[in-house]
Amino acid sequence: MKKIIATIGLLFVCAFTYSQTEEELTEEMAPKKDSIAAIQARVDALQAKIDALPGWKKGAFGTIGANLTSFNNWYAQGTPNNAAGNIGVTVNGFANLNQEKFFWRNSGNINLAWIKFDDKDNPNDDDSFKQAADVFTITSLYGRKLSEKFALSGLGEYRTTILDNFNDPGYLDLGVGATWTPITDLVVVIHPLNYNFVFSNNDAVFESSLGAKIVADYTRQIGAVNFKTNLSMFQSYKSGDLSNYTWINSLGYTLWNGIGLGFEFGLRNNRQEALNFAQATDPGATFDSIDNDLQTYVLFGLNYAF
């Protein structure tokens, strides 16, 4: 009985000692966390000053997503013998020049994807990869500074596809107005005088027009994280059917030697593209008869930061 009591006492003492040790360690760790936070705040402040210095700032990051599968005699599914796969690549790059009296900001985005599904039991099946995503955008913005946060600016932006139907349609925006840079990494462009040139073989659907251009871009790198969001919007003065917008969000997280995980999500609304697609099966379709569904795409995979 004495041995049992002694053992219980020993366990209680050990538990109490461990509890004390954990509490002491927690108390010791708290000020260190505060110190780390203070150091990080100073580092962020220094990085903000570096970003604001005159000169060129360049960078790029991209994401590769791939999924390849092959099934043989997998009878639980409707197609027991098949090979399938999808491959996606996206690249975001920028080259920005900041000087005392002016700035020049350039950026580009490419998103390409291919997909295939091969039914091995169907000799007439198409076993090749087909183009599934095709996005290409380049932007150039020049601004003459009126103050630290405001500038008179001119913008050129070109959007199209490059794998299929290059420049059909293609969109070229040229305009002037003002640019607001409230913080180092955020640029807001408001150009009330902008002409949206539309290039296409289908002149009955696609039409150029005068309107207003609004662009908001936020690009930043915080440690191992690369982040970019870009909203490009055109509001036609002639008709709402000629207006459009595209919003692309990209995120890259570096894990090792520039390699990590990447994610990109895009939204687009364009009634001209929706009508052109609808007329392929219904030649009598009009702007009033179509369902202008929101266009979206998602890409997730490996990321590489240059």
User: Which residues neighbour 198 within 8 Å (Cβ) at sequence distance 6 or greater?
Assistant: 169, 170, 171, 206, 207, 208, 272
Residue 145 has pLDDT above 90, yes or no: yes
Residues of the chain with pLDDT > 70: what percent? Answer: 82
Q: Are 200 and 173 in contact (CB under 8 A)?
A: no
Confidence of residue 13 (pLDDT cuts 50, 70, 90): very low
Q: How many CB atoms lie within 10 A of CB 155?
A: 22
User: Can you give the pLDDT at residue 160?
Assistant: 92
Mean pLDDT is lowest, of 19-33, 113-127, 208-222, 287-301, for 19-33
DSSP 76: T
Q: What is the rounded CA–CA span in Å between residue 39 and residue 278?
A: 57
Q: Is 98 or 35 the better-scoring residue by pLDDT?
A: 98
Confidence of residue 230 (pLDDT cuts 50, 70, 90): very high
Interval 156-172: pLDDT, tens: 999 998 888 888 889 99
User: Can you give the pLDDT at residue 33?
Assistant: 63
- 264: which strand partners? 250, 299
Residue 25 has pLDDT above 50, yes or no: yes
Instruction: Tell me the pLDDT of the chain averaged across its residues.
Output: 84
DSSP 306: -
Length of the chain in residues, anyone? Answer: 306
Q: Are 120 and 84 in contact (CB under 8 A)?
A: no
